[in-house]
Each structure stands twice: as structure tokens, then as C-alpha cells.
Amino acid sequence: MRDNPLVLHVLGARPNFVKAAPVVRALDELGVRQGIVHTGQHYDALMSDVFFADLGLPEPIANLGVGSGSHARQTAALLTGLEDVVLEHHPSLVVVYGDVNSTLAAILVCAKLHVPTAHVEAGLRSFDREMPEEVNRVVTDALSDILFATSPEALSHLAREGVDPERMHLVGNPMIDSLFSALPKLDPAPVQARLGVPGRYAVATLHRPANVDDPESARELVDAVLAVAERVPVVVPLHPRGRQRLADAGLVNRENLSIVDPLGYVDFLSLVRGAALVVTDSGGVQEETTMLGVPCLTVRPNTERPVTVTHGTNRLVTPAGLPAAADKALADGSSTPSGELPPLWDGAAGPRIARVIAAWLRGDNLSPAAKGRVS
Ligand code: UD1
Ligand code: UDP
């Protein structure tokens, strides 16, 4: 083992920052040398900088500034930029998060350079290969050396795909750690006052390509959101991806519908905490509403996070089914099938991940294959 090994975290998009913060903090407490590489996949201040500030993440040691593009172009820029960074810094371990293009590119680069990797949020599956994220998940897990799972069913998905159980660790959910840390700061009132949101309201977030990229799907979705706005005022902190197409489909400011810029982490979760209902197609928001006990209607045909349905407040809906589901959720309030949070969603996932990484860096419990690759 190299003296004073370096751990690099590759982060690129909004949900990565939220998942990484508790891991970075816990590794810091264990005295592990580490650095963040920001790929620049997300670059607007409200999609990136605000998260570093809200989550207390340290300045990145590099920002690749890859920006936006088609999958191939963006991934190509990520690959070349990340290869340079890995060759320059010689990390002992690279940690990747979630399922975005930055995650996939980092795993591919490290696999080719024989640099060991860890994947936080391994094993989630929607079984829908039309989702770009599903492709990223499958490839990332196939190439990762250490796999950190947020829920038990992820372990069985990985086992079915032939992952050695010794490489898997059920650690809980670092996105929920971040939420635990933020809880004392979550106050809806000031955000409501600033945005002019009344006492009872719903929050909606929409950005999945399947919902927002095709004009016909966008129109169907917007019609459904407008129907919800007839029942309860809706505020939509709108991701830049869908902005124009959803506006063209009629998602514009009007009575009971407020379209705002994406919100910072603390502001957004404050608003969610006070909401009567959340409508979303986000992955992370399904988990956060489960933790906060806020009814969540996910406008998708599937979810890679079924524990949010079995143990949480989440329900899958079609656009056509959204208004009736909203009526029911608004009448029933929060109800969870099991009354319990998913296992290990206790705010301690970051420290669990850090302990496994620190032990791995010391050379404890290394599989022969992994040992051969640590220089
Ligand atoms: C990406 C992830 C998705 C994740 C989402 C989180 C992939 C394949 N998708 O989707 O899994 O749920 O991030 O938010 O990695 N844009 C800006 N400013 C920014 C960033 C993006 O205006 O700071 C706009 C650009 O027009 C860009 C579009 O959003 O073309 C899409 O951005 P991109 O990062 O490619 O994918 P997301 O839809 O954000
Ligand atoms: N989020 C935020 N501001 C917003 C919308 C979302 O801070 O306006 C946070 C949300 O609380 C969660 C993360 O961003 O922590 C989820 O990101 P997103 O929905 O973009 O990605 P996904 O989870 O779908 O990959």
C-alpha cells in the first residue's frame, strides 16, 4: 500500500453533491487524504455552487468544465478530462456516486487505467434500459471494485448480475444522511414568503427525458400538473432541462401555478417539508419525501427505488392518473405501508462507507484481485 493514499470523489450533477457530502465528511474525520473532482456536468450556480455552500463540501481540486451535450459528446469530454486527472493525481481509490454520465465516465476511465473504484448507490435497477441512468447503473456496477448499497433489494440485483458478495456492503443511504444534517435548518416559512407560496401547497419537480424531451409527453404531463393546480397551489422549481419544452406545453406562471428557478438544497427541502404533496420524477426526491413523511406522486412507469413505495410515502402514477391520485393524497395525508423507514436510513451511511474505505486503504479484507491492483 502506498503511503498516505489519496481518495478522489468524482462529482458532476446535483444529486452527486448531496450523496457525497456525508462520505467526504466522514472520511475527513478518519484523516483520509481526499479530493473532489467536479466534472462540470452541472455548472449553473443554482445547480452546483449552491450545493457546495449548503452541504459544506470543500472546493474541488479540479473542475473539468465539460458542460452539456449529447450523451456521446458529453461522455467523450468526461472520459478525456477524467483520464488526465487520474493520471495526474494517481489516486488509490476513486469514489463515484449514483447514475449520471459523470459516474459512468469515471468508472470506465478507472477500469482502463487499473485504478480501483467504489460505487455509492450500487445495485438500484428500474429494469428500463430506455432510461440513460439504467445503462449507467449496469455498467458502473459491473466495473466497480467496492459496491455500497442503499437498500437490501440492491444486493440481490447485484448478486444476480454476478457481483461477488464480498465486494457489496449494505450501508444505508447517504442522501438521507444529508437530509438528517439539514433538518434543523429546514423551515418552509421564509421560502414560502420569498416565493409568495400560500399555506397549503404542492411542490413539483420534473426533468426526466421520458417526461420532458418529447413535446407530446410534455403536454400530457403539463395538463396533469395544471389539473393538480386546480386542487392546490403548485410551485415548480424547474430544472433547466425541461424549461423550454414544458413552457411551450403551457407550464407557465398562472393562478395557482408558480414556476421558479431551481432552488438551493436547504430552500428546496424546506419547501418540501412544508408541502401537502410532492409531484416528481426525481430519484432523490422520492427518497427525501419518504424520510420527511410527505406524500409523493412519482410520474413514472417504474422506480429503481421501490423501498420508497413499500416503506415510504411514494406512489407511481401516470400523467392521466395524477389528478385523482393527488385528490387521494391530499385527502389522506401521509401514509406509509410499513410505518418504518427503510433499513439503515438512519443518518449514519457516510460513516459506514468511510469505515469500509479506510479499512480497504489499510489493506484489510482485500480480495486477491483488488490487492493486486493497489499500488
Ligand atoms: C442529469 C442526469 C440525471 C439526473 C440529473 C440530476 C445523466 C445522463 N443524467 O440529467 O440522471 O437525474 O442530472 O439533475 O447524467 N443544463 C443547464 N445548466 C446546468 C446543467 C444542465 O442549463 O447547470 C441544461 C442543458 O441544457 C443540458 C440539460 O440541462 O443540455 C441537461 O443536462 P445534463 O447534465 O446533460 O442532464 P440532466 O437532464 O441534467
Ligand atoms: N433539489 C434541490 N433543488 C431543486 C430540486 C431538487 O436542491 O430545485 C435536490 C433534491 O432535494 C435532491 C436532489 O436535488 O437532493 C435531487 O436531484 P435531481 O432531482 O436533480 O436528480 P435525481 O435524484 O433525479 O437524479
- Is there a domain that residue 311 lies in? yes
- Quote the CA–CA distance of 81 and 84 in Å, as a whole number: 5
* CATH label of the domain that carries residue 206: 3.40.50.2000
Mutate-to-test residue for ligand 1 from 68, 300, 304, highest number of ligand atoms within 8 A of CB: 68
**Closest ligand 1 atom number to CA of residue 284:** 12
Check pocket membership of 311 for ligand 1, CB cut-off 6 A: no
Q: Is residue 160, in this structure, part of any structural domain at all?
A: yes
Residues 283 and 150 in one domain: no
Cβ–Cβ under 8 Å, residues 303 and 322: no
Same-domain status, 151 and 19:
yes
Instruction: Label the pairing between strands 168-170 and 202-205.
Output: unpaired
111 with 203, same domain: the answer is no
Report yes or no on 338 lying in a domain: no
The reported pLDDT for the residue numbered 366 is 52
Same domain for 206 and 279? yes
What's the rounded Cα separation, in Å, for the pair 308 and 360?
A: 31
Residue 237, Ramachandran bin (φ over 0: left; ψ between -120 and 50: alpha; else beta): beta
pLDDT tens, the chain, 375 aa long: 567 999 999 999 999 999 999 999 999 999 999 999 999 999 999 999 999 999 999 999 999 999 999 999 999 999 999 999 999 999 999 999 999 999 999 999 999 999 999 999 999 999 999 999 999 999 999 999 999 999 999 999 999 999 999 999 999 999 999 999 999 999 999 999 999 999 999 999 999 999 999 999 999 999 999 999 999 999 999 999 989 999 999 999 999 999 999 999 999 999 999 999 999 999 999 999 999 999 999 999 999 999 999 999 999 999 999 999 999 999 998 767 667 889 999 999 999 999 999 999 999 855 544 443 333
Same domain, 197 and 307: yes
How open is the CA angle 151-152-157, to the nearest 5 degrees?
100
In this prediction, residue 115 carries a pLDDT of 98
Distance CA 346, CA 231 (A): 34
Do residues 263 and 237 touch, judged by C-beta distance below 8 A?
yes
Same domain flag for 130 and 223: no
Question: What cell numbers appear for 201 in the block?
Answer: 401547497
Say if residue 158 is in the same domain as residue 233. Answer: no
Q: Which residues line ligand 2 (CB under 6 A)?
A: 14-15, 18, 205, 237, 239, 262-263, 265, 268-269, 282-285, 288
pLDDT computed for residue 371 by the predictor? 41
Q: Are residues 348 and 233 in the same domain?
A: no
Q: How many domains does the chain have?
A: 2
Question: Which residues are known catalytic residues?
Answer: 207
- Residues in Cβ contact with 199 at an 8 Å cutoff, skipping those fewer than 6 apart: 192
| Domain identity same for 204 and 292 | yes
pLDDT score for 365: 54
Residue-range definition of the domain harbouring residue 123: 6-172+344-374
The ligand 2 atom at the shortest distance from the C-alpha of residue 208 is 24
Neighbours of 84 (CB within 10 A): 13
Same domain, 325 and 259: yes
Domain membership flag for residue 179:
no
Residue 146 falls inside a structural domain:
yes
pTM assigned to the model: 0.96
Same domain membership, residue 294 and residue 274: yes
pLDDT of amino acid 372: 38
What pLDDT score does 364 carry?
80
On the CB side of 74, CA atoms within 13 Å amount to: 17
Q: What is the spatial distance between Cα 151 and Cα 214, in angstroms, rounded to a whole number? A: 32
Q: Is the CB of 43 under 6 A from ligand 1?
A: yes
Give the distance (Å) from ligand 1 centre to CA of residue 298.
19
Query: Has residue 128 been placed in a domain?
Result: yes
Count CB atoms within 10 A of the CB of residue 114: 10
Q: Which of 16, 19, 41, 282 has most ligand 1 atoms within 8 Å of CB, for mutation?
A: 41
Question: 3-state secondary structure string, the chain?
Answer: CCCCCEEEEEECCHHHHHHHHHHHHHHHHCCCEEEEEECCCCCCHHHCHHHHHHHCCCCCCEECCCCCCCHHHHHHHHHHHHHHHHHHHCCCEEEEECCCHHHHHHHHHHHHHCCCEEEEEECCCCCCCCCHHHHHHHHHHHHCCEEEECCHHHHHHHHHCCCCHHHEEECCCHHHHHHHHHHHHCCHHHHHHHHCCCCCCEEEECCCHHHHCCHHHHHHHHHHHHHHHCCCCEEEECCHHHHHHHHHCCCCCECCEEEECCCCHHHHHHHHHCCCEEEECCHHHHHHHHHHCCCEEECCCCCCCCHHHHCCCEEECCCCCHHHHHHHHHHHCCCCCCCCCCCCCCCCHHHHHHHHHHHHHHCCCCCHHHHHHCC
Ligand 2 atom closest to the CA of 205, numbered from 1? 5
Q: Cα separation of 273 and 304, whole Å?
A: 23
Radius of gyration of the chain (CA): 20
197 Cα to the center of ligand 1, angstroms: 27
Q: What angle do CA 214, 216, 219 make, to 5 degrees?
A: 105
Claim to verify: residue 132 and residue 209 sit in the same structural domain: no
